[in-house]
Amino acid sequence: GCRLSPAETVTFRHNDPDHLDRRLARLEGRAECKLIVVEGLYSMLGDTAPIREFVEVKEKHGAWLLVDEAHSAGIYGEHGRGVAEAQGVDKGVDFIVGTFSKSLAGTGGFAVSDHPDFELLRLTSKPYMFAASPTPSSMASVSEALRQIETRPELRTRIWENAERLHAGLSAAGFDICSEVGPVIAVRMPDEQSVVHAWNRLIEEGVYVNLAVPPGTPGGVCLLRCSVSAAHTPEQIDEVIRRFTKVASGIAPANLPAA
C-alpha cells in the first residue's frame, strides 16, 4: 500500500516508539498528513507492537495511526478485537485493517475507521475497485465466525492455555523461542540446513509447522513457526513438544536441546 501511494515513505526501527518520535519530529513543517502504519501481531516472530506508546507518539505529532490486526483479531483483547484492545488503546487507533483468512477462517479482508472521509477509500483504492466482491457464502461464514468470537470467549481462553503450554514446554526443552507467549510461536534454528532437516523430520513425525527461511524472515533468521488453536488438546500439545525434542536429538549443533 505504501508503494502504491504517491506519499513519501519514511521507515523507523521495528517496535521503537522513540525512533518513530524522532523521525516524525524531522518531518515537522513539511508533512501536512502523517500516517503511522504498524502491525498488532507480527506473524513471523510472533512479537506484538507497543500500540499504547505509538498512540502517544501519534498524538504528540498530530499523526494518524493504522494498525493491521490480521493475526491478532479474534485472539487478543477482552472481545477479541486485537492487540490495540488488549493494551486498552483501541479508541486511539484511527484505522484498523485485517483479514478474514486467519481467526475467521474465510477469505477477504476489511478496513474500518470513523474518519469522516473514510468512504473515499472505496473510490481511490485500486485493489478494492478492481477486485470481485466476496461471495454471499463466504460472508455468511465470516459472520458466523464473528458470532462465535463474540459469544464463546472460552475459545480464546483455550487458545491462550494452549499457547502457554507449548511455549513453556519448548522453552523448558531448551529451544530458542523468538517472543513472548502468543498464538504464533517461532522456534529459532541455527542455520538453513538444520531448519529444513528439522521441518522434514517433524512432518515424518506427524507434526506440521511452517518453515520460514531467508530472505522471507526478519534479520535472516531460520524458523520453525508454530500456530496453536482452540482445537488442540493438552495431550496434542505435549506430544508436539515430545516430537520436537526427538527431532532435535538428530541435529548436530550443540545449541539444540538433547532428547
Task: Report residue 243 as a C-alpha cell.
Answer: 516430537
Task: Name every residue whose Cβ is closer than 8 Å to that of residue 79 and which is 6 or more positions away in sequence.
Answer: 85, 149, 150
CB 65 within 8 A of CB 92: yes
Task: Report residue 49 as a C-alpha cell.
Answer: 507492537
Q: Which residues of 9-37 are buried (b: 16+ CB within 10 A; e: fewer)?
A: eeebeebebeebbebbeeeeeebeebbbe
Please check whether residues 136 and 21 belong to one and the same domain. yes
Please check whether residues 26 and 53 belong to one and the same domain. yes
- Alpha-carbon distance of 231 to 76, in angstroms, equals 17
Please check whether residues 147 and 205 belong to one and the same domain. no
Catalytic residue among 34, 58, 71, 232: 71
CB 70 within 8 A of CB 84: no
Q: Which of 117, 151, 185 is the last residue of a domain?
A: 151
CATH of the domain at 40: 3.40.640.10
Catalytic residue among 34, 58, 72, 102: 102
Pairing state between β 35-39 and 64-68: parallel
Note down the domain range covering 177.
153-248
Catalytic residue among 34, 43, 58, 232: 43
Please check whether residues 187 and 127 belong to one and the same domain. no
Number of domains in the chain: 2
Q: Which of 151, 186, 207 is the last residue of a domain?
A: 151
Please check whether residues 136 and 161 belong to one and the same domain. no
- Alpha-carbon distance of 62 to 34, in angstroms, equals 8
Q: What's the pTM? A: 0.91
> Is 179 assigned a catalytic role?
no
Per-residue pLDDT of the chain (259 residues; tens, 9 = 90+): 788 788 899 999 999 999 999 999 999 888 889 999 999 999 999 999 999 999 999 999 999 999 999 999 999 999 999 999 999 999 999 999 999 999 999 999 999 999 999 998 888 887 788 888 889 999 999 999 999 999 999 999 999 999 999 999 999 999 999 999 999 999 999 999 999 999 999 999 999 999 999 999 999 999 999 999 999 999 999 999 999 999 988 775 444 554 4
Please check whether residues 138 and 161 belong to one and the same domain. no
> Is 61 assigned a catalytic role?
no
Please check whether residues 217 and 146 belong to one and the same domain. no
Order of strands across the sheet that contains 95-99: 35-39, 64-68, 95-99, 109-113
> Is 102 assigned a catalytic role?
yes
